[in-house]
């Protein structure tokens, strides 16, 4: 039961990580396209700074999901090694 829940957490984290990273890259593409407008105009003429803020907000969940996936992977490898050493 624990293994099934752990795999559900793993796959949910993978899907969320792909969604957040995809959003970050889409925002990055938009940010690059608005860069010249932000440099030439005022802060209110372009959504460049709002995109930068949105990207900085997305970085926290992305890092948390990376850490979660790393912990789950280490746990799974530890369980596998423990099973191998017992037998």
Considering just the CA atoms, what is the radius of gyration of the chain in Å? 20
Give me the residue label for tokens 């407008």: 37
What's the confidence (pLDDT) of residue 50? 87
What's the confidence (pLDDT) of residue 83? 93
- What pTM was estimated for this model as a whole? 0.79
As a whole number of angstroms, the distance between CA 87 and CA 55 comes to: 48
What's the confidence (pLDDT) of residue 80? 92
Per-residue pLDDT tens digits for 22-77: 999 999 998 888 877 666 666 666 788 888 899 999 999 999 999 999 999 999 99
What's the confidence (pLDDT) of residue 75? 93
As a whole number of angstroms, the distance between CA 76 and CA 6 comes to: 9
> Beta-carbon neighbour count of residue 7 at 10 Å?
12
């Amino acid at each position: 039961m624990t293994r099934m829940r752990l795999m559900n957490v793993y796959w949910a984290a993978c899907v969320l990580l792909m969604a957040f990273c995809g959003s970050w890259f889409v925002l990055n593409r938009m940010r690059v396209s608005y860069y010249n407008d932000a440099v030439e105009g005022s802060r209110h003429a372009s959504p460049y700074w709002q995109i930068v803020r949105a990207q900085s907000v997305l970085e926290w969940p992305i890092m948390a999901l990376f850490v979660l996936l790393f912990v789950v992977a280490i746990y799974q490898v530890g369980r596998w090694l423990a099973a191998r050493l017992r037998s």
